[in-house]
Amino acid sequence: MLHIVSFNVPYPADYGGVIDVYYRLRALHRLGQEVTLHSFCYGRAAADDELLKWCSKVYYYPRATGLRSALSSKPYIVKSRESADLIATLKQDNEPIFLEGLHCCSVLEALQGRKIMVRAHNVEHQYYGNLAQVERNPLRRLYLRTDANRLRRYEPVLLKADTVFAVTEADAAHFRSIGCANVVLMPSSHPDDEVVSQVGKGDYALYHGDLSVGENVDAVCYLIEHVFSQYRCRFVVAGRNPSPLLYKAAEGRDNIVIEANPDDDTMQRLIANAQVLVLVTKMATGLKLKLLNSLYAGRHCLVNSAMVSGTELGKVCTVADTPSSLIESLKVLMEKPFTDADVALRRSLLGNLYSNEANARILLSQL
């Protein structure tokens, strides 16, 4: 049996971190691994009907949000997830424990001597520092910078883990550099079991993601200003809770459409029918799940170097890093049919390196 401690309820699986958690649970179940899930609740309800399909037991714990956690010397994401009830439940046996993120590492401090592994979804202090750079609200920016510093100081707790699982080679190199003895590459789990990209052509470009997150808002505003104001093909921006800044950036531009809060079927249809998926970022941290979804289900992917940093995914994308090179690449890709050969190349790369079953077997090899 394996205990998994999740930073949030992993259903619905509708944003980066919980997608990784949810599809890992499903893959482990399919391989016959029994899992007890321990999940903190934060803005989400219990989801027994779904999670008990993949787990033998599910426990829920409240998150201690508020001023007391915010004023701690520990990172807020860690302090607010300290739980005596969780520790007491885990002490009832001696089975191995898998922690989803630095968020849950108070367990690592409390249960030394147990077999404990950590999934590092990002180099968290780098991620928070990058978020601070694109955050426009000064109070929110101060919080992000403060917690980036706390996360940097707290990160050596990972040296107490038996295994740290990194999502990219770049992240793995970082964790080795701080002294982690056993760092294993395990890319993110995701919704896709096989490449289903359609051959042929579509008539629009697409950006998709959580449109309330500063990183994504910054990327879309950049694309509108520097690319789609110059090359006026139809550009669809789709995702959760679009920031008002996006509506302002798109105002008066009749080639830009914002699709707010599409359901899963609509989003997958948008991805499948697009001619080009344009995904850029300033943050070369972690593995971008929206890119994996695009490669499994969409046609041409146009990205910048940061989007594929530390991965092999650049081999099946077009990479461009300046407005002029993005525009020129977009012009070519909008007219280039997606072929059976393109599908075969993706199946070869993704099936070997990024399948959920392969990732689950990597985890099981460390038990």
Condensed to tens digits (0 to 9), the pLDDT of residues 224-249 reads: 999 999 999 999 999 989 999 999 99
Structure confidence at residue 220 as a pLDDT band (50, 70, 90): very high
DSSP state of 72: S
Task: Report H helices in 196-322.
Answer: 214-223, 244-250, 264-273, 289-297
Alpha helices in 178-322 (DSSP H): 214-223, 244-250, 264-273, 289-297
Q: What is the mean pLDDT of the chain?
A: 94
Cβ contact 328:319 at 8 Å: no
pLDDT confidence of residue 65: 87
CA 291, 241, 120, 310 torsion-angle sign: positive
For residue 12, is the peptide bond before it cis, meaning its omega torsion is within 30 degrees of 0?
A: yes
pLDDT band at 287 (very low <50, low <70, confident <90, very high): low
pLDDT (mean) for 35-45: 94
Which of 212, 223, 199, 195 has its CA nearest to residue 304? 223
Domains and CATH numbers, the chain: 2-186 (3.40.50.2000), 205-353 (3.40.50.2000)
The pTM is what? 0.88
Res. 286 pLDDT band, cuts 50 70 90: low
Average pLDDT over residues 208-232: 93
pLDDT greater at residue 312 or residue 11: 11
* pLDDT value of position 69: 80
Q: Which residue has the higher pLDDT, 349 or 70?
A: 349
Mean pLDDT over 255-260 rounds to 96
pLDDT band at residue 187 under the 50/70/90 scheme: very high
- Distances in Å between the alpha carbon of 347 and those of 4, 234, 312? 30, 28, 13
Residues 6+ apart with CB under 8 A from 246: 211, 217, 220, 221, 237, 258
- How much of the chain exceeds pLDDT 70, in percent? 99
What per-residue confidence (pLDDT) applies to 42?
87
* Distinct helix (H) and strand (E) counts, the chain: 16, 13
The residues near 88 (Cβ < 8 Å, ≥ 6 apart) are none
Find out whether 37 and 46 touch, Cβ atoms under 8 Å.
no
Question: Given strand 97-100, what is the order of strands in its sheet?
Answer: 57-62, 35-41, 2-6, 97-100, 116-120, 163-166, 183-185
Of 41-55, 102-116, 127-141, 167-181, which gets the smallest average pLDDT? 127-141
Residue 6 pairs in a beta bridge with 39
Burial class (CB in 10 A: 0-12, 13-18, 19+), 258: middle
Q: Is the pLDDT of residue 284 over 80?
A: no
User: Which amino acid, one-letter code, is at 238?
Assistant: A
Residues 118-155 pLDDT 10s: 999 999 999 899 888 888 889 989 989 999 999 999 99
Least confidently predicted of 26-40, 124-138, 171-185, 290-304: 124-138
